[in-house]
Homo-oligomer: A and B are copies of this chain.
Amino acid sequence: MENNHAAFAPMLSFSDGFAAIEFYKKAFGAETYRVFDHEGRMHVGEMFIEGALFRLREETPKWNFMSPGTLGGITVQVCIFVADPGAMADRAVAAGATLVNPVQDWDYGYRQATVKDPFGHYWQFEKKI
């Protein structure tokens, strides 16, 4: 966010945002930045992975902004460029994520690995090669 270009900071939906924070700490080494409560439940949580911001929000029916379990799928895959995609996927799987695609170098110029987290969100870890 200190850059001179734009930066994505996706907001993911969960039925239990606090459980997600605990998982992402362990699985991705994510750091909690701050959590906003509202009437006893999580409003928005903010976390960083290697300096990149993302958000967690509990289900918000007025926008049909729901967790993958509730909706039965995903509408956005969370892709993130990191230092070591394979190591990130290994750590996530050790913490309980499911391996979707093992780390691989692709001829379109990326090393990519994909996991599905216990909440149903898909994470693609990648770097330019």
A54-81 to B contact mask, C-beta < 8 Å, 1/0: 1101000001111110011111111111
In this complex, how many residues of chain A approach chain B with their Cβ under 8 Å: the count is: 48
Q: Which of B49, B64, B77, B121 contacts A6 (CB 8 A)?
A: B49
Residues of B within 8 A of A126 (CB): 9
In the assembly, what is the distance between CA of A52 and CA of B4, in Å? Answer: 10
Q: Which of B1, B4, B13, B34 contacts A75 (CB 8 A)?
A: B13
Interface contact B6-A82, CB-CB below 8 Å: yes
Interface contact A108-B6, CB-CB below 8 Å: no
A100 within 8 A of B: yes
In the assembly, what is the distance between CA of A95 and CA of B8, in Å? Answer: 21
Where the two chains meet, the residues of A that have a C-beta atom closer than 8 Å to any C-beta of B are: 1, 3-13, 34, 36, 49-52, 54-55, 57, 63-68, 71-83, 100, 108, 120-122, 124, 126, 128
